[in-house]
Amino acid sequence: MTMVFLNKEIRDGDNPDLTEERKTATFDTNKMAEVIYGSEKLARRRREISQAVSLIPELADSKPLPFLSRNEKILESTRKVTALNEHLPRLINMNDEDEAWHIHSEVIGFEGNPLALHHSLFIPPLVIQGSDEQHEKWLGRAKRREIIGCYAQTELGHGSNIRKLETTATYSLSTQEFILHTPTINALKWWPGALGKSSNHAVVVASLIIKEQNYGPHLFMVQIRDEQSHEPLPGIAVGDIGPKMAFNGADNGFLGFNNFRIPRGNLLNRHCNVEVDGTYVRPPHDKMNYAGMIRVRSRMAAEQGTFMAQALTIAVRYSAVRRQGFLENKSQEVKVLDYQTQQHRLFPAIARSYAFIFCGFETIQKYETLQNEMNSGNVSLMADLHALTSGIKSVVTYQTGEGIEQARMACGGHGYSMASYISEIYGCAIGGCTYEGENMVMLLQLARYLVKSVELAMRGKPGDLGPMVAYLAYPDIKVDLVTGPEAYVKMFQHISKRQSIKATEKFHRKMESGVSRDEAWNQCAVELTRASRLHTRLYIIETFIRRVDSIEDLSIKMVLTDLMNLHLNYELLDVASYALEDGFMSSTQMGFIKNQLYSSLEKIRPNAVSLVDSFQFSDLQLRSNLLNFLFQVLGRRDGHVYQNLFEWAKSSPLNQTEVLPSVTQYLKPMMEKAKL
Ligand SMILES: CCCCC/C=C\C/C=C\C/C=C\C/C=C\CCCC(=O)SCCNC(=O)CCNC(=O)[C@H](O)C(C)(C)COP(=O)(O)OP(=O)(O)OC[C@H]1O[C@@H](n2cnc3c(N)ncnc32)[C@H](O)[C@@H]1OP(=O)(O)O
Ligand SMILES: Cc1cc2nc3c(=O)[nH]c(=O)nc-3n(C[C@H](O)[C@H](O)[C@H](O)COP(=O)(O)OP(=O)(O)OC[C@H]3O[C@@H](n4cnc5c(N)ncnc54)[C@H](O)[C@@H]3O)c2cc1C
C-alpha cells in the first residue's frame, strides 16, 4: 500500500527527478504545513485523516470520473458521500468544520455532490438567521443528515440584483401562513446546487409581502419533497438545469411554487419577524438577510487559494519530471522547471496561493468576530466586512483562474488532457468568479465604500476612516524600495489611493456636469473597479507580510520571505504603470523590481517542489492515484506519469473495442462508396 503523503522522506521507487528536488529543499514540509493550515494540530489532523481515508477502499473513486456519464457521476459522488457518512464519526471530529471540509474535498473532489451545499449553504443560514426555536426544529435533523437542504436564491431572471427577486412570500392574515409563488418563468429559482434531484428542503429567498407592501428579500425554510417518497410536494415544480462547465456530479436545479403554503414559523426570524397580526419587526441592519453571503465570501480566499495550490502541485511536480530541450549540457535534456519562463509562469502563482490562504484565514476570523457581535446585537462591523469580502472574493477568484490556466499551459499537451485533472479544477474555481456575487458587481460594492472613504478624507475627516482605508489620507512621501517590504506597501498605498481619488473625482465631475448619480457611476465604473482591485491587492500583500513576520522557525521564515518578495515584486510590477504615470516610481526603481523578481525565481527554484508538497494534498485528492486503479496521473507524488498516462488511455471506453460503430456505420460506407 502506498502512503499518500510524507514530508522530506524519500520513498524507494519514486521518480529520481522528484527525489532530487525533495533533497534540495531547505525546510521541512510538515513544518510548512503547520504554517499553511494555521496550527500543528490542524496540519497533523489533515495527515491523519488522509492516511485513514487511504485505507478505506470504498472511499476511492471506482472509475476515472471523466469517463463517466452525468448520471454515473452523480451516482458515484452520492455513493462516496454516503459511504463517507458512515465512516465520518470515526474519522473526524464532527464539530470541526475544517476537518469536515478537508475530508469531503479529499474524498469527493471537485465534481460536486448532493451534500456539498448542505453544509456550506443550507446549515449556515439556518444557524445565522434562525431563532433558537427554529434551531431546535431543524438544525439537529440537518446536522444528522436526516434531511438534505440547499440555498435557493438566484432566479432565471435575477441573480445579482436580489432586490428584484420575483418569487413572493405573501403573508395570509387569515391562515397565518406565507404563500410562496412563482409568478413568471423568470421567477423560477435557477442554479441552486443540489436542488434539482437531491434536496428535500431548501432555504428559499423570496420577497416578503405583507398587506401589499414589499419588504424585500427574506429567508424561509421550505420542505420541497416528501420525506418518504422523495416526490415533489403538490404545488412544487423542481428539476435539474442540465450539464455545466464543471460541478457535474452535482444537480444544480430549478424550483417553482404554485401558491405553496408554509407556516408563519418558517420565516427565519432570529433578526426580523412577522407577527400574527402582520406587524413587521425590522432587523437591526437593513442587509441582515445578506449576512450568509458575507460568510461564504469570507471563506473564498482560503478556498480558492487551495484550488490553485492543487493545480500548481500537479504542474510543478510534472515540470520536475518532464524533460525537454537543452541548456548548456547537450547530453541531457533539462527539466522544464529549469526554464525561467516556466518558473515565471508557476512561482508567482505559488506565492499567490500562499497569500490567498493566509489572507483567507484572517478573513474567516474576521467573519467569526462579526458573527459573535451580530449575535449580541452589534452590526457595526457589517459594512466593513461586506466591502472587504466583496473585493477579496473578486480578486482571488480572477487570479486563481489565471493561475490555474498557467498551470495547465505549463503542462503542455498533457495539461489539456483530463488526465491532468486541471480542467476540472479550473471549471470549479472559475465558477467562483460568478457565484456568490458576480465579480464586477462585487467590485462595485467595494467601490461604494472606497468613494465614501475618499469623500471623508477630502472633507478633512481622516479620523473617521477605518483602519482598512486610513492610508487614503496619508501624505505622499517617496520611498526607497531597497529598504524592504514596508516601502513596497507604501508604494502600493500610493497607487491605490491615487486610483481611488481619481475615480472619485471623475465621479464627482460627471455629477457636477449634470449627469445623474447612477449614470455618473456607470460612466466611471471601470475606473472604480480598478480602484477596488488595487485596494484589495494591497490588503492581500499586507496580510502576507503580517503572516511572515509572525513566523518564528527560521528555515520556514527564510523560504516564505523569498516567496513574499516574489509576490511583492510581481504584484508591484503588474501595477507599476499607475506609479510611473505620476512620477512616484522612477524607471530605475522599475528596473530594480524586475531584477528582484528574477532573483526571487532563482531563489525559489530549489524549494519549488517542496513548497507545493507542503500543501500535503494526497494523491487521492489530486485524482492522481486511485487505490483500485493504478492509473491517473500528472500530479502523482511518485512522479511516474508516463506509464500511468498510457494506462489511463487504455482505460478509455473507446478502447474497449477495436472497431467503433462510428466506423462501421459511417466511415466504412463512405470509404467504400468513394472506391466505386
Ligand atoms: C462539507 C464541505 C463540502 C466540501 C465540498 C468540497 C469541494 C467542493 C468545492 C467547492 C464548492 C464551493 C462552493 C459551492 C459553489 C457554489 C455556491 C454558490 C452559492 C451562491 O451563489 S448563492 C447566491 C449568491 N448571490 C449573490 O451573491 C447575489 C449578489 N448580489 C448581492 O449581494 C446584492 O444584490 C448587492 C449587494 C449586489 C446589492 O444589494 P442591494 O441592491 O440590496 O444593495 P445596494 O447596492 O443598494 O447597497 C445598499 C447598501 O447596502 C450595503 N450592503 C449590501 N450588501 C451588504 C451586506 N451583505 N452587508 C452589509 N452591507 C451591505 C451596501 O454596501 C450599501 O451601503 P451604502 O449605501 O452605505 O453604500
Ligand atoms: C456553479 C454555480 C453555482 C451556483 N450555486 C448557487 C446556489 O447554490 N444558490 C443560488 O441561489 N445561486 C447559485 N448560483 C447563482 C449565482 O449566485 C449567480 O449566477 C450570480 O450571483 C450572478 O448572477 P447572474 O447570474 O444574475 O448574473 P448577471 O447579473 O446577469 O450577470 C451578467 C453580467 O451583467 C453584469 N452586471 C449585472 N449587474 C450589474 C451591475 N449592477 N453593474 C455592472 N454590471 C452588472 C455582470 O457583471 C455580468 O457581466 C450559482 C452559480 C454558479 C455558476
Q: Which ligand is nearest to the CA of 289?
A: 1
pLDDT of residue 568: 98
* CA of residue 437 to ligand 1 center, whole Å: 5
Q: For the chain, where do the domains classified as CATH 2.40.110.10 start and end?
A: 145-286
Q: Which CATH superfamily is domain 145-286 in?
A: Butyryl-CoA Dehydrogenase, subunit A, domain 2 (2.40.110.10)
β-strand 177-181 against 168-172: which pairing, if any? antiparallel
Rounded CA-CA distance 199/194 in Å is 6
Pocket probe mutation, ligand 1, options 128, 199, 435, 532, max atoms within 8 Å of Cβ: 435
Rounded CA-CA distance 471/8 in Å is 43
CB 120 within 8 A of CB 296: yes
pLDDT of residue 395: 99
Cα 373 to Cα 101, 212, 288, 377, 381, distances in angstroms: 25, 34, 13, 6, 8
* pLDDT band, residue 627 (cuts 50/70/90): very low
Closest by CA position to 156, among listed 182, 180, 178, 181 = 182
**Which of ligand 2's atoms lies nearest the C-alpha of 189?**
11
pLDDT in tens, 314-347: 999 999 999 999 999 999 999 999 999 999 999 9
As given in the structure block, the three cell numbers for residue 541 are 500583500
Q: Phi/psi zone of residue 318: left (φ > 0), alpha (ψ -120 to 50 degrees), beta?
A: alpha
Is the CB–ligand 2 distance for residue 391 below 6 Å? no
Closest by CA position to 620, among listed 116, 85, 56, 83 = 56
pLDDT of residue 83: 96
Is the CB–ligand 1 distance for residue 344 below 6 Å? no
Cα 371 to Cα 294, 392, 582, 649, distances in angstroms: 10, 19, 42, 50
Q: Whose CA is nearest to atom 41 of ligand 2?
A: 441
Give the residue-averaged pLDDT of 421-426.
94
Q: 260: which residues sit within 8 A by CB, 6+ positions away? A: 179, 180, 181, 222, 233, 235, 236
Helix/strand/coil for 365: helix
Q: Residue 392: enclosing H or E segment and its boundaries?
A: helix 382-410
CB 487 within 8 A of CB 543: no
Closest by CA position to 434, among listed 195, 308, 306, 247 = 247
Is the CB–ligand 2 distance for residue 186 below 6 Å? no
CB 560 within 8 A of CB 551: yes
Q: What is the DSSP string of 620-652?
A: TTTT---SS-S---TT-TT--HHHHHHHHHHTS
pLDDT of residue 111: 83
* pLDDT band, residue 476 (cuts 50/70/90): very high
Rounded CA-CA distance 73/70 in Å is 5
**Which of ligand 2's atoms lies nearest the C-alpha of 247?**
1
Catalytic residues: 436
* CA of residue 158 to ligand 2 center, whole Å: 8
ipTM value, please give it: 0.97
Q: Residue 49: enclosing H or E segment and its boundaries?
A: helix 40-54
* pLDDT band, residue 2 (cuts 50/70/90): very low
Q: Work out the number of other CB atoms within 10 angstroms of the CB of residue 542.
A: 18
pLDDT of residue 64: 81
pLDDT in tens, 169-191: 999 999 999 999 999 999 999 99
Pocket probe mutation, ligand 1, options 82, 248, 448, 450, max atoms within 8 Å of Cβ: 448
Q: Whose CA is nearest to atom 17 of ligand 1?
A: 435
* CA of residue 240 to ligand 1 center, whole Å: 23
Q: For the chain, where do the domains classified as CATH 1.20.140.10 start and end?
A: 462-613
* pLDDT band, residue 4 (cuts 50/70/90): very low
Q: 385: which residues sit within 8 A by CB, 6+ positions away? A: 294, 298, 366, 367, 370
Rounded CA-CA distance 357/68 in Å is 32
- The neighbouring-strand residues paired with 205 are 219
Is the CB–ligand 1 distance for residue 382 below 6 Å? yes
Closest by CA position to 254, among listed 275, 271, 232, 237 = 237
pLDDT of residue 256: 98
Pocket probe mutation, ligand 1, options 386, 393, 532, 622, max atoms within 8 Å of Cβ: 386
pTM above 0.95, yes or no: yes
Helix/strand/coil for 429: helix
Q: Is 655 exposed, middle or buried (CB count within 10 Å of its CB: 0-12, 13-18, 19+)?
A: exposed
* pLDDT band, residue 624 (cuts 50/70/90): low
Rounded CA-CA distance 39/47 in Å is 13
* pLDDT band, residue 9 (cuts 50/70/90): low
| CATH of range 462-613; options 3.40.50.12780, 1.10.420.10, 1.20.140.10, 3.30.365.10 | 1.20.140.10
- The neighbouring-strand residues paired with 323 are 335
Is the CB–ligand 1 distance for residue 101 below 6 Å? yes
Q: What percent of the chain has pLDDT over 90?
A: 88
For the ranges 73-82, 203-212, 598-607, the lowest mean pLDDT is seen at 73-82
* Statement: residue 389 has pLDDT above 70: yes
Residue 154 annotated in ligand binding: yes
What mean pLDDT value characterizes the chain? Answer: 95
pLDDT in tens, 252-301: 999 999 999 999 999 999 999 999 999 999 999 999 999 999 999 999 99
